[in-house]
Amino acid sequence: MVFLLVASVVVASNGTSILVYVHPDAAGHLAQVAAFLRSRRWAGLVLARHEFAAFGIPIGAGPAFAVSMLATAQPNAFGVAGTSIAARRAGDKDDTIGAGQHGGLGDFEQMPFLMAAGRGVETGGQRIESASVLDLAPTILSHLGKNGASMDGNPLHRNLPEGQS
């Protein structure tokens, strides 16, 4: 029975999360797979498919489980708060330790920062207003002098007349 279960489960690494797919023929083992995942020290939040909607994951996406790897407020080697366990890639794909990751629900992973320099960006300035990933494309377009007014989100820097910085 263990062989059947192992052969019926596929894990896809996604940075600081994994997606776990279970073959329909092994659906009777979902509770066993859930218990295993929730018992792992590396697992942070383990979501079963019926819990996906609360986190914006489409139920029809296919996986039986989504796992956000363990995340802490512990500082990294550079003193920046927030560390997360990253899922190792399958096969011979290289892992880049210390590089940014994505996919998890850790507090610090959900609060990325952006540094920018150039026209409309105050040297040493800091923006403390809320921002969203939706603001990135309008910011880039505005920086390039293009119109992004029809997009969701807003430019994060000041729009200056041509010739000023």
**Average pLDDT of 64-93?**
85
- Give dist(CA 123, CA 121) in Å, integer: 6
Residue 34 pLDDT greater than 90, yes or no:
yes
C-beta atoms surrounding 139 within 10 Å: 20
Q: What angle do CA 152, 106, 125 make, to 5 degrees?
A: 55
Neighbour tally for 39: CB within 10 Å: 9
Map out the domains of the chain as residue ranges: 2-84, 113-165
C-alpha torsion 113→115→101→57, nearest 10: 50
Average pLDDT of the chain to the nearest whole number = 81
CB 103 within 8 A of CB 15: yes
Q: Which helix (H) or strand (E) holds 71?
A: strand 71-75
Say which residues have a Cβ less than 8 Å from residue 79's Cβ, sequence separation at least 6: none
Kindly report, residue by residue over 55-75, the tens digit of the pLDDT: 888 777 689 999 999 999 999
Neighbours of 47 (CB within 10 A): 22
Categorize the per-residue pLDDT at 20 as very low, low, confident or very high, splitting at 50, 70 and 90.
very high
Fold (topology level) of 2-84: Gyrase A; domain 2 (3.30.1360)
Instruction: Give the pLDDT confidence score for residue 140 in this predicted structure.
Output: 85
Best CA proximity match to 69, nearest among 97, 96, 45: 45
Structural tokens at position 142: 């505005």
Q: Which residue has the tokens 């794909």?
A: 93
**Which residues lie closer than 8 Å to 66 by C-beta, 6 or more apart?**
17, 18, 19, 20, 46, 47, 52, 55, 57
Does 59 or 107 have the greater pLDDT score?
107
Do the beta carbons of residue 82 and residue 110 sit within 8 Å?
no
Residue-wise pLDDT tens digits, 120-151: 777 777 777 788 888 888 888 888 888 877 88
pTM above threshold 0.75:
no
Altogether, the residues listed in the chain come to a count of 165
Q: Which residues does residue 85 pair with via DSSP β-bridges, in sequence order?
A: none
